[in-house]
Amino acid sequence: MSDASDSSLGPEVEEFLQATKLEPGTVINRTYMIRQLIGAGSFGSVYEVYDLRLKRIVALKTVLTRFDSIQAQRLKREIELIRQIEHTNVVRLYDFGEDPSGILYMVMEFIEGKELGEVMREEGPFDLQRTLAISTQILDALVQAQKVGVVHRDLKPQNIILTREGMRSDVVKLVDFGIAKTYSDASVGPFGQMSSTMGFGTPLYMAPEQIQGTRVGPYTDVYTVGLIMLEMLTGAPPFHGETAIQILSEKTSWTPEIPRNIVPPPLAVVLEKAVQMDPKDRYQSARTMFLDLHGTGLLGPLSGVFEVPKDADPDFHRSGTAATVDIGDASTHPRIQAPEVRKTMQMGREEL
């Protein structure tokens, strides 16, 4: 596979990545043998590796070691939380550590599939049922993350992989929880620091509070899910600035309009609430947004283990009882084509 390094990275990051690049055959901590580079970004590189002990293929992400000791400790605490997320729609984190040369790494489930962004570019707007099937899986995964106190903070189509499991297609796998942050300590640096690297988010999908450097929480991920749903339905992001700065300015100036000629009225109500500029006006959790989606009556037959939350949003009148969309029902949404290339944890890709 060719080197998938992000060409938009700055020279300093490119130089660091090149200096720390691991060649095929390199063994990390006597356990993980490098097979090939999968991708690289401002937070590190991702490799396909072979676990010599458990005899399986996994993904290994190296993390840039320019963190100070406080940042490194924070990262380790976050990783411990992320390991608690066990959900079919979240890529599993198996191990993390530091090799003798000082390289921090995380070892994860290796998955094959295509990025949601890539599928949208190839296939154009999705129909309603496909959009809902994908979105409810994303929300279900976020519910589990929020149960252990984790906010993703960098949701975007590039971090949502569509895979196949048996006869089921469009099975969602969320990646890049490696830069997620516990919302007990959830804030980002001032705009001046963030704007140079966009380290905790990508302009098109960042929430206004991330841009402004104020507190983030589950409502931050809800905002991004709303934006991604609009993009799936319309074929284009709801913000159209030509530069990152223009997009960030738009996001702190107005709430995107819902195209009601495309979006059914019940769903428009849900999306309008999800993408409000002020966090206080949004759903406060993925659970309440999911329940309101179910309350629209658009999801069809439901099955699964999604628990009805006690904190259901009282502002929306629901007729259903909630569960997880059965993504195995091939009649509800089109199948995606078999993956042409392998995709896995590609952290820190700074795309508009």
Active site residues: 154
DSSP 323-342: --B-TT-TTSSPPPPPPSS-
- Which residues on adjacent β-strands are paired with residue 114? 162
In single-letter form, the type of residue at position 76 comes to K
351 in Cβ contact with 202 (< 8 Å): yes
218 in Cβ contact with 287 (< 8 Å): no
Side-by-side strand order, sheet with 56-63: 27-28, 32-41, 44-51, 56-63, 104-109, 93-98
The SS3 of residue 275 is coil
- Dihedral sign from CA coordinates of 32, 34, 35, 39: positive
Where do runs of H (alpha helix) occur along the chain? 11-19, 69-82, 116-123, 128-147, 191-197, 208-212, 218-234, 244-251, 265-274, 286-295
Distance between alpha carbon 34 and the CA centroid of its chain, in Å? 25
228 in Cβ contact with 157 (< 8 Å): yes
H or E stretch covering 91: none
Residue 241 class from Cβ within 10 Å (0-12 exposed, 13-18 middle, 19+ buried)? middle
Structure tokens that stand for 211 in this block: 């841009």
- CA nearest to 227, candidates 198, 257, 266, 187: 257
* Distance from the first to the final alpha carbon of the chain: 25
